[in-house]
Amino acid sequence: MSTTPQPRPPELQAVHVDALLQDTTPWLSCDECFERMDAYAEAAVRDPGNRDEAMATHLRGCAACDEEAQSLIQLLRGGGA
C-alpha cells in the first residue's frame, strides 16, 4: 500500500491572478483600436508574423473590432492587386 498525500499548492492561485493581470496590460480602448486598425490590417496582410500584440489582445476580447479588422484585412487582400 502506498499512500501519497498530495499537498495543494496555495500559491498557484496567486500566480494565476498575476498572469491575468499581466494579460490586461496591453489593453486598448475601442477608439485606440480603430485608430490603429488601418496600420494593423496592412501589417497583417504584408507580414502575418509581424503582429501588434496590443491590437491582437484587444481583438481577442472585442468581437466588434475583430470583425472590423478581419473584413479590412480581407478587403486589403482581395483588392491589393
Which of 41, 44, 55, 65 binds Zn ion (CB under 5 A)? It is 65
How far is the C-alpha of 34 from the C-alpha of 2, rounded, in Å?
Answer: 60
Nearer Cβ to Zn ion (42/68): 68
Minimum Å gap between C-beta 59 and Zn ion is 8
How far is the C-alpha of 8 from the C-alpha of 28, rounded, in Å?
Answer: 36
| Site pattern 26..55 for Zn ion (x: CB under 5 A) | ----x--x----------------------
Nearer Cβ to Zn ion (41/65): 65
Task: Give Cα separations from 46 to 9, 39, 49, 59, 76 (angstroms).
Answer: 46, 10, 9, 19, 10
Nearer Cβ to Zn ion (13/29): 29
Yes or no: say if 80 and 49 are a contact pair by the CB < 8 Å rule: no
Where along the sequence are the contacts to Zn ion (CB under 5 A)? 30, 33, 62, 65
